[in-house]
Chain A
Amino acid sequence: MTLLSTHLYSYLFIAIFLFATGLYGMIQHRSIIGMLISTELILSGAGLNFMAFNRFITPDPAIGQIFTLFIMGIAAAEAAIVISFSLAVYRRYQTIDPESVDKLRY
């Protein structure tokens, strides 16, 4: 009997699904906060990937857990930065649509 939860492939496919969904949301951008949500999905997929390899491939089980903790820390820092950035952008441009914030383009 083969169980789905004891295979490396099922975790990797979920991680790829998270990455592809985040990429979809990132390209089809609607607002800066929507893009931030997509970024969190991508980072979550990366963390799941590390944990899957940590469970099935690596001999030392501490490495992947520590790396996933660091990914969580980076995600928290990034969320704080982007939220305050979107507040500043809204105060200046009265919108958070990323396509209308383009003064440096010209």
Chain B
Amino acid sequence: MIIYRYIAEGLFIGFIMLVMSGSILAVRSRILMHAVLGLAVSFLGVAGLYFFLGSMFLTLMQILIYVGAICVVLVFGIMVGKTPKEIDEKQLRGKHSILAVSLSTVIFFMLSASVFFAKWNPVTEKIGDFSMAYLGKNMLYHYCLAFELISVILLAAIIGAIILARGGREADLG
């Protein structure tokens, strides 16, 4: 039985490596399409971590929404919008580079210290389970208002996106 634990641990470390390498590729690559690829790799790693955290449903949703929808929308935007394929070397190492490295490093270590020195109380007993039935029942009974509000937000965002992308075309025609 102990061998399965080691296999699971190796998978976990592999997912961590996916997250880290993907996110570094997403912020460091000079070609924007490679950044989207790194983002997809990082999201796949996060989906694996959700699986380790016990939620099969969120793993599938992460792959479906983030990798399947958001990355495709980003690729679509890059290809339609004629963004610069290559980013200038001087723009990559611009005046903000030192500020970005120092600020993100400082915030990383400050948050790590605050996580490390905080006192967490692990829960001993759970009142529900991780099944999809329990999740759906909660979402439609207890969190019904939030569930409806997020659909209104999505509707407003889609209508706003259509209006934003469409306004210029009428200006071009007229």
Identify the A interface with B (CB < 8 A): 1, 3-5, 8-14, 16-25, 27-31, 33-34, 36-38, 40-41, 44, 47-48, 51-52, 54-63, 65-66, 68-70, 72-81, 83-88, 90-92, 96
Verify B53–A88 contact, CB threshold 8 A.
Answer: no
Known: A13-B112, A56-B122. A61 touches B161 (CB 8 A): no
Cβ 8 A contact of B99, one of A27, A44, A76 = A27
Query: Given A21-B24, A60-B126, A92-B168, does the pair A76, B69 have CB atoms closer than 8 Å?
Result: yes
Evaluate contact between A9 and B87: CB separation under 8 angstroms.
Answer: no
How many Å from the CB of A46 to the closest CB on chain B? 11
Contact call A73/B46, Cβ cutoff below 8 A: no
How far is the CB of A8 from the nearest CB of chain B, in Å?
A: 6
B contact residues, total (Cβ < 8 Å): 91
B61 proximity list for chain A (CB < 8 A): 69, 72
**11 A-B contacts (beta carbon < 8 Å):** A9-B116, A25-B26, A33-B81, A37-B39, A51-B50, A61-B134, A65-B130, A83-B77, A84-B165, A86-B77, A88-B167
Q: Are B42 and A76 in touch, CB under 8 angstroms?
A: no
Nearest Cβ in chain B — how far from A76, in angstroms? 6
